[in-house]
Amino acid sequence: MPRNGDLNGLIWFEAPSCWVWHIVNAYEAEGGEVVVDVARHRRMFDHHWQKPNEGSTPAFASSPNAPVLVRWTLDRTRGRLTERVLDDHGGDFPRFNDRFGGQNYRYAYTSHWGDGVSFFYGPAYKHDIRNGRTEVHDFGPGNASMEPVFVPRSGATDEDDGYVMCYIFNGQRNSSDVVILSAQDFTGEPLAVVELPVRVPFGFHGAWFPDCP
């Protein structure tokens, strides 16, 4: 959208009634369609004004109150939006390999949000957008994942060749850890766990920048 330009070419699309906190990624597909992947909540701050927990009517049997990872395809010729569910585990705080920002991509990472009844956090997910497969990393009882940040390995060529870093709240210690996973062995044991002396609040966003000489 031009900051100081002609908006006569602006196209409006009718989307499903919902709430979106976070966009995963977006890119222009072959044929000129625009693909936008989002974590879609059914509603937000309708009855619960002090916390993000809405959606009493089931939208999906497995996670009625939880956000759903969906793909919106925008047909600019017809001015029409179509939606396809990518995953309904109930995940938000999406991240991906930033090198693929604005490009066709394959892998996304989310943290669990909601159990179909209440608002809570839990494992982290690796989503293969192309084949519909989701891998789950469970951090164990009393441990809950926050935003999973992808860090590419030096010299990597594959999109998922790297590491996933998460702040994990440890309920027994009432503090947080930094857990580092291999993105290509997502369900395997962590490569490293750094115990922190304090709790990192949920909803905390982060990014990784390598040390520069």
Residue 6 domain-assigned (yes or no): no
Single pTM value for the model:
0.86
Range of the domain at 52: 19-195
Residue 1 domain-assigned (yes or no): no
Residue 5 domain-assigned (yes or no): no
pLDDT at 1: 66
What's the structural domain count of the chain?
1
Residue 138 domain-assigned (yes or no): yes
Token duo for residue 141: 């009882």
Cα distances (angstroms) measured from residue 148 to each of 12, 32, 124, 181, 200: 32, 31, 7, 10, 14
Residue 34 domain-assigned (yes or no): yes
Mean pLDDT by 10 residues, the chain (213 residues): 78 89 93 93 64 44 68 93 92 94 96 62 92 94 92 94 95 92 97 94 82 66
Quote the CA–CA distance of 93 and 109 in Å, as a whole number: 8
Residue 13 domain-assigned (yes or no): no
Residue 201 domain-assigned (yes or no): no
Task: Establish how many alpha carbons lie within 13 A of residue 141's alpha carbon, considering only the half-sphere containing its beta carbon.
Answer: 1
Q: Are residues 136 and 187 in contact, defined by beta-carbon separation less than 8 angstroms?
A: yes
Strands (E), 42-120: 68-75, 80-87, 91-95, 107-113
